[in-house]
Structure 1
Amino acid sequence: MKITLVTISMAVFLTGIHADVQPQKNFDLKKFAGKWYRVGLAYDSPSFARYRKKLTVCMGLVEPTETGDVIMTVWKTKSSTCQKEVFRYEKTTSPGMFTYFSTRHNKVKDITVVETNYTEYALIFKYKKFNKEYSQVSLYGRTQKLRPELLEKFKRYARQQGFSEESIITPALADSCPTGGH
């Protein structure tokens, strides 16, 4: 019996701890489209620690395609310049769950919109597996500043996902990036 439980536990671990992360019920991509700011981030990668103090709020534009995929354009300030990146998030069979291929890591990553009210905030869970499993929780807002209750909701959710207080940050406000619109 003990061996069976260990085997089942290992199978669950190896197939992904993120399996219990569910998308927003009745997720509506059209309502989710538009401009979002990443105002909170929880990340468990050891190499991320050196970038924590340099991180600023970044802006993203969610544009649904006719096929249900998403073009995600992100602008972030890096070394005093505004940098633009474009990602294609592919829909899955579950509305609110997407995958994309990270050219930086040469791996497919999962993205789940866990909770949103569409007009103010969204909690996003990102998962990838390299030589070990990594996950991120992000808080997005329609503005760069959110109500304290929403920041606390984000921190509470991140802690529930196993993130330590040290790995949960709310980046500094960003300068106007992109400048003059997008």
Structure 2
Amino acid sequence: MQRAVSAVSLLVLGSACLVHTVPVLIEPFILTQENFDLAQFMGKWYEVAVVTTCPHYMQRKRGNPVIVALELQHVASDGNFTMTATSFRNGSCKLTSTVYGLTNTPGRFFHHIARFGADVDSFVVHSNYDEYAMILLLSIEKPSGNKTTVFKLYSRTMSVRATVLDDFKTLVRQHGVSDDAIIMNQNKGVCVPGERVTQPVTAQPQIFVPKRWKRNTVLPVVPAREEYVGNV
């Protein structure tokens, strides 16, 4: 019997939608990538698109739709792998590291978010390993019982082909989520942990201030037949 999901990580950094959750059984139609290969899935990814039914997260993400850089590393002898994430938040580059446990189902992982006391299951639904990966997550909140669905599109580069994005939209629609709500993350440049984001300085308009005559300034002599026109 498949293990129940306690919560869903809307971001590697977590979300307020995870504060209260109860177990929910995984629907049988959720399938992971066929013949999933963990070794090929490791390495560097970029989270380039995301959509969820959690209004709080969608509002916050629209305010800062930035690409999240991910680095996945696995030691063959371990039953887990580490995901390091870097992204621009609140004017600086933030870094987090999360340990994912492997499960008996290839392409399905587990980790715990201590901040929310939440257990998280991740599913790799589709991936060709060298270009893209589509991730599906589910949750149900307590006491409202509201179900949250999350989809993420990973890419080996900071962009994806139009056909890959179309397939992602199809996957989203198949699970009852509107593809019109998909947020495309933006490339804000290389993120170096600890560095502040420098904002461009806007040039201030220069105001002309007339110079005053010094006390020892000799005024020009005006010929008797001419009129002096102007201001000193």
TM-score (norm 1): 0.84
Residue 95 in 1 paired to residue 109 in 2? no
- Which residue of structure 2 aligns with residue 82 of structure 1? 93
Q: 1:101 to 1:146 in 2, by over 3 A?
A: same
Helix, strand or coil for the counterpart of 1:24?
A: coil
Higher radius of gyration, 1 or 2: 2
Aligned length: 166
- Which residue of structure 2 aligns with residue 6 of structure 1? none
- Which residue of structure 1 aligns with residue 186 of structure 2? 172
Q: 1:95 to 1:173 in 2, by over 3 A?
A: same
**Contact persistence 1:124–1:139 (CA under 8 A):** yes
Q: Following TM superposition, by how much is the alpha carbon of 1:125 offset from its aligned partner in structure 2, in angstroms? A: 1.0
- Which residue of structure 2 aligns with residue 144 of structure 1? 158
Gaps of 5+ in 1: 1-13
- The 5 Å alignment of 1:84-163 reads 84-131=95-142, 132-163=146-177
Kindly indicate which of the two structures has a greater share of residues assigned to helix.
1
Residue 25 in 1 paired to residue 34 in 2? yes
Q: Following TM superposition, by how much is the alpha carbon of 1:57 offset from its aligned partner in structure 2, in angstroms? A: 0.7
Question: Among the aligned pairs, what percent are the same residue?
Answer: 29
Residue 42 in 1 paired to residue 51 in 2? yes
- Which residue of structure 1 aligns with residue 5 of structure 2? none
Runs of 4+ in 1 over 6 A off after TM superposition: none
**Residues of 2 paired with 1:18 and 1:54: CA distance?**
32
RMSD of aligned C-alpha atoms? 1.8
**Residues of 2 paired with 1:43 and 1:175: CA distance?**
25
In the TM superposition, what whole-angstrom CA distance separates every residue of 1:77-125 from its partner, at most 9, and x where no partner exists?
A: 1022110111111111101101111223211111011111010000011
- Which residue of structure 2 aligns with residue 62 of structure 1? 72
**Residues of 2 paired with 1:63 and 1:165: CA distance?**
31
**Contact persistence 1:109–1:127 (CA under 8 A):** no
Q: 1:106 to 1:160 in 2, by over 3 A?
A: same
Letter in 2 for 1:24: Q
Gaps of 5+ in 2: 1-22, 194-232
> 1:53 is matched with which residue: 28, 48, 63?
63
Letter in 1 for 2:122: I
